Amino acid sequence: MLIAAFRGEPAIRECALAILSEPSLDFYYSPLLKLEVTLQPTHHGFTKLEFYDVYFRNANIYGNLNHMFEIGAPEAMKHGITVIDALHLAAAKLSKCRLFITTENPTKPIFRTTLVKVASIATITQPSEARALLA
């Protein structure tokens, strides 16, 4: 969702920004997310990453990679979830997040998890619909 808010298609971008600007929410991330969203743009010489900097300054980090691997690896194998998504889900579980929001379509393996509730903004076109996911 963070990538969509930064450089996604206009409709999904507005939905992601609506969620990210919700003042009642606490946001969490793992060090893997920070690498995922900043490594490629930086490698390609894109240095205007202030959007991500603001997010990471205001979000909480969950950084125990050993625990993430202990929980994420079996989840990836059990449900066919990509490794990085399984590790993100594990970080969400360990951070006690009540909702994991993604831009993946609801038919993807990430929705098979029981670690944390998963919601998608992939098919949403209005920011009000995105905010409704939070209820």
Domain that holds residue 34: 2-132
Residue range 103-116, pLDDT digits in tens: 999 999 999 999 99
Q: What CA–CA distance (Å, rounded) separates 57 from 120?
A: 24
Total tally of structural domains belonging to the chain: 1
- What the block records as the tokens of 37 is 């969203």
- Identify the pLDDT of residue 48: 79
pTM for the predicted model, two decimal places: 0.90
Closest to 96 measured CA to CA, from 80, 119, 117: 117
Kindly report the CA angle at 78 between 72 and 84, in degrees rounded to 5?
35
User: What does DSSP say about strands 100-102 and 118-120: parallel, antiparallel, or unpaired?
Assistant: parallel
Question: Domain of 17: which CATH number?
Answer: 3.40.50.1010
Residue range 52-93, pLDDT digits in tens: 999 999 999 998 999 999 999 999 999 999 999 999 999 999
Q: What CA–CA distance (Å, rounded) separates 54 from 63?
A: 19
Residue range 4-43, pLDDT digits in tens: 999 889 999 999 999 999 999 999 999 999 998 988 888 8
Q: Does 47 have pLDDT greater than 80?
A: no
Measured CA to CA in angstroms, residue 61 lies from 10, 29, 88, 103 at distances of 28, 5, 12, 21
